Amino acid sequence: MFVGFSYYVFWNYCVDDYLRIGESTTLKCVDKFTRGVISVFGPQYLRKPTTEDIERLLQMGEARGFPGQYVRGDHGKPTVMLEAVASQDLWIWHAFFGVAGSNNDINVLNQPDVFNNVMQGRAPEVHFSVNRTEYNMGYYLSDGIYPEWATFVKSIPMPQGDKRKLFAQHQEGARKDIERAFGVLQSRFAIIRNPARSWHLDALKHIMDTCIILHNMIVEDERATYGGTFDYSYDHLGNGPTAPPDDSNNDFQEFLRRRHNVRDKQIHRQLQQDLIEHIWERFGHENIHI
């Protein structure tokens, strides 16, 4: 009864007239509801990708010509921004929510939790091959504002030649996953679409996190209708063997090496070129004239 009541209060603004609940009580209900959802369901539905998730994401990416990829984007209003990472099935894997004036596309990258696990050696291993070249680091499809890091694959502005045109077409098409994910998120939860000037930033973050958790729950429940053939079993979550701690991960030199690898421009350019060739090899016969 409490959950259903809180759910109703959470999604409706006009509760004063209908339920005779004061504004302060409504705000407390929203706060308790969001904190409860995050506490109970956050570890599963706001988790970082596990090894099994990585394997499935690799399969999903390979089917579209982008093995090893995620989709990164941002959506914001004049004062608050949401930067998110989503996959083709609309699952939101990461979300940064903050004030846009001090957090834009570039300096959000310096936030500790974006690439912290990669740089400290705690992220699941990623291995894939593109154009007969082996890679051991996942990457994000992103727009042109992001830097030339090994972890980003950007489109090509004004591409010349059929191969580059086809690559840009596929990259920009796959990148629309983030637009779809955010559009579905907004359509499901009106509280995200409406003005939020009266909310404190911490409360807004809790609301956004709660909406993403509920969104991912729905995605998990509806995946069977998507027509994919991927394994979405999560019975193993939290039950797999834990790797023993590696003291070398705390070594500063090792951290610097990983940081250098993440920001390696040469790998960035090589990966983009390999993907251009890979996509042309797979889909070029379908698009001889673009």
The number of beta carbons lying within 10 Å of the beta carbon of residue 121 is 16
Helices (H) and strands (E) in the chain, counts: 10, 7
Question: Domain check: are 142 and 278 in the same one?
Answer: yes
Domain that holds residue 210: 47-226+247-286
Kindly indicate the confidence band of residue 215, based on its pLDDT and cuts at 50, 70 and 90: very high
How far, CA to CA in Å, does 18 sit from each of 33, 196, 272?
20, 21, 56
Kindly indicate the confidence band of residue 1, based on its pLDDT and cuts at 50, 70 and 90: very low
Kindly indicate the confidence band of residue 165, based on its pLDDT and cuts at 50, 70 and 90: very high
Question: Domain check: are 106 and 208 in the same one?
Answer: yes
38-47, 72-81, 222-231, 248-257: segment of lowest average pLDDT: 72-81
More confident residue, 232 or 178: 178
Does 235 map to a domain? Answer: no
Question: Domain check: are 100 and 134 in the same one?
Answer: yes
Domain count within the chain: 2
The pLDDT value given to residue 96: 75
Question: Domain check: are 103 and 7 in the same one?
Answer: no
What's the one-letter identity of residue 213? I
Question: Domain check: are 31 and 76 in the same one?
Answer: no
Query: Is residue 264 over pLDDT 90?
Result: yes
Question: Domain check: are 85 and 144 in the same one?
Answer: yes
Question: Domain check: are 75 and 122 in the same one?
Answer: yes
Contact 16, 22 (CB under 8 A): yes
Kindly indicate the confidence band of residue 19, based on its pLDDT and cuts at 50, 70 and 90: low
Residue with tokens 């421009």: 265
Query: Is residue 61 over pLDDT 80?
Result: yes
Does 187 map to a domain? Answer: yes
Residue by residue, what is the 3-state secondary structure of 97-130? Answer: EEECCCCCCCHHHHCHHHHHHHHCCCCCCCCEEE
User: What average pLDDT does the chain have?
Assistant: 77
* In the chain, % of residues over pLDDT 90: 27
Question: Domain check: are 92 and 173 in the same one?
Answer: yes
Question: Domain check: are 3 and 63 in the same one?
Answer: no
Question: Domain check: are 92 and 61 in the same one?
Answer: yes
Distance CA 139, CA 42 (A): 24
- pTM score of the predicted model: 0.73
